[in-house]
Amino acid sequence: MKSFKTGLQAILYVLLVVGLHLILIYFLKIRIEGWGTALLNISFKVYFIPLLLCLINSFLFIRTQRIKYNAIWFLVTMLSSLLLLLFFNAIQDDSDSEYGVVVSIEWFPKYQVEMLFLLPWSISIIQFILTLYYLIKIRKI
């Protein structure tokens, strides 16, 4: 029963993180051009591993029963992705700045490379680092 409760809590934490990401994406007006059913299927496939790693890490950190580690997981997961989304928004901005024109990636539809390649890979790497952190730091306790 305890592991069921922990699993449900982990799922809720991951859904909270996903929801906050979607809200941020909406407010930043990040839209992949050429959105369709095929792109939706690809995005499910691309985000499966990062979301699975988030769920596993969330479950592991909840099992520690320490708010400190839950907060570390949440902040690292949210802040890293938040910074990446802000960066993606900045590089796709075609306006002139005082430092010159920001170059966007123009070989693919707008935001496709960022949202379907860079973001999932970066989330996977961050979650892998969190797993290593759990195995090295927390397992010793």
Distance between CA atoms of residues 99 and 40, nearest Å: 36
10: number of Cβ within 10 Å: 21
**Buried b or exposed e, range 122-132, using 16+ CB within 10 angstroms:** bbbebbeebee
Average pLDDT of the residues in 2-11: 90
Are the CB atoms for 58 and 18 separated by under 8 Å? no
Q: What local confidence, expressed as pLDDT, does residue 42 receive?
A: 85
Question: Quick one: pLDDT at residue 109?
Answer: 60
pLDDT score of 102 more than 60: no
Instruction: Tell me which residue range forms the domain holding 22.
Output: 2-91+100-138
Distances in Å between the Cα of 121 and the Cα atoms of 24, 73, 124, 135 are 19, 17, 5, 21
pLDDT reported for residue 141: 57
pLDDT, position 108: 59
Q: Which pLDDT score is estimated for 128?
A: 93
pLDDT digits (tens, 9 = 90+) for 19-75: 999 898 888 888 776 667 777 788 888 889 999 999 999 999 998 888 998 999 999
Q: Which two tokens stand for residue 29?
A: 């007006």
For residue 88 the two structure tokens come to 């993606």
Q: Find out whether 86 and 9 touch, Cβ atoms under 8 Å.
A: no
Phi, psi of 44 (to 5 degrees): -65, -40
Structural domains counted in the chain: 1
